[in-house]
Amino acid sequence: MSSTPIPPPVFTRSGETTPTVHSLSPKSSEDSLKKEKLNQIIVASKSVEDGLEDIDGGWEGYMETELPEKGQRKLLRNLRHHILNVYRRLFSVVFLVNLGVLISVAVRGATADYIGKIVIANIFVSVLIREEHVVNGLFFIFTAVPKSWPLWMRVFTARVYSLGGIHSGSAVAALMWLIYFTVQVSIDLRRHKASIPLAVITYVILAFLIVIIALAAPAWRRIHHDKFEMVHRFLGWTVTGLVWAQVVLLIRDYKDPSVPLHVAMRHSAPFWLVVILTASIASSWTHLRKVKVQSEVLSNHAVRIHYEYTSAIPGTFSRVSYSPLTEWHSFATISIPGQKGFDHIISRVGDWTSKTIANPPEEIWVRGVPTAGIMNVVPLFNRVVVVATGSGIAPCAPHVYAKKTAIKLLWTSRNIRKTYGDRFVDSIMTAAPDAIIYDTDAHGKPDMVKLIHHVYKEFDAEAVCIISNQPLTQKVVYGLMARGVPAFGAIWDS
């Protein structure tokens, strides 16, 4: 029997799915046998104890294998992989450099004009490092490293997804400098060097920036993410407008009296930084549009939405909304080689996703461009174990389809056919016939660190990428990194 591939779904104009060339109907005996075989792969378990299915049998006996001891002493290990992870190292470098410069400037003394330039520079860096085109450009540069380079160099460049540490470090540094600037403006106000409008606007900006940074604290942000985004967006826009007024007043108050204001502005670095900063904030919104979509309800737990307004590369995400000013939700893009557009798989995790599954949209708001994320680092490696739990399969699927890197897929989930539908599961299994599928409904939760380490060794992989919930991701990444395995997972920094 020939190995005829089962194609991924193709959406018709009515939004229904149809096969491209090869029918999945029982009318074709060959495809019926293939469908039956794939069902057996998913449903049948080679090991009642372990509950894993794998054509190669590479998982067998993983519970009996010895998991290596964690390297280094516990304190040093926790310091390296948890307390001072790459994100926090970048934050610390940015903040401490700024702190050192601030102490030096404070000792020597400086004018409000000089301090204001440093405030604007930090705000500029904080905003620009999050701009979608900048993010994509940085990922492009850091992931362009050849696979022939030493593994340690590729692991280093793969940490590009931690650049959010520069964003938060610059924001906190800007607050620190703004406090110093506010003190200096207050002094200059008494000396009649600074104007009352400049002082008032500075006080307001300081208050708003304190609120923005305080509500961005991880503990509060996780619990109140929608409120965090609202505050971040609307207060951020307000601060941007106030910074424009502050910069103009700063230039006016401290320029040479013989120089016209428009000339002084034209030669002012803070003015041009604010121009670029504002453009970077606006850039995402210039792509705001409502697009037609085609939805397929996979189950009462998941819906698949197809978009054709643009294409996406593996390892990116895009934002969608029903109410563009109040909330946005990010989902991994699923691109299929040779097909136009991309898909989202949206699983039930809250009110918004539940509403989307119950009432699949025909139109939805989108903005910005598909932006690189954690899974964009996969092509840096020659052999990778890709781990997905539940709907975490969505960010992994494009790499499985693209086949640009040797991938061993480990997917743990509740009954995957019932949850995600035969057609999607068939397309994954056809693209990765040696995938390991673990049904948590039937067999409970495995020892993920031990299982992944076993698969990593058996597959002779260079790295592990995992898409899961935050607690499990952190546990697995720490457990593997502490044993010398390059591991990558989301860091929930936005």
For every residue of 330-354, DSSP letters joined together read EEE-B--TTSSSEEEEEE-SSHHHH
Looking at residue 74, its pLDDT comes to 84
Q: In what order do the strands lie in the sheet with 487-489?
A: 52-53, 436-439, 406-413, 383-389, 463-467, 487-489
For every residue of 404-418, DSSP letters joined together read -SEEEEEEEES-HHH
26: alpha, beta or left? (left if phi > 0; alpha if psi -120 to 50): alpha
Each residue of 291-328: b (16+ CB within 10 Å) or e? eebbbbebeebbbbbbbeeeebbbbbbbbbbbebeebb
Comparing C-alpha atoms, which of 420, 423, 318 is closest to residue 364?
A: 318
Looking at residue 226, its pLDDT comes to 80
Residues of the chain with pLDDT under 50: 1-58
Looking at residue 350, its pLDDT comes to 84
Looking at residue 427, its pLDDT comes to 93
* Neighbouring C-alpha atoms within 13 Å toward the C-beta of 338: 7
pTM listed for this prediction: 0.85
* Both structure tokens of 406: 């040797």
| Radius of gyration of the CA atoms of the chain, in A | 26
- By the 8 A CB rule, do 49 and 36 touch? no
Looking at residue 53, its pLDDT comes to 43
β 342-347/406-413 pair status: unpaired
Report the distance separating Cα 126 and Cα 178, nearest Å.
Answer: 14
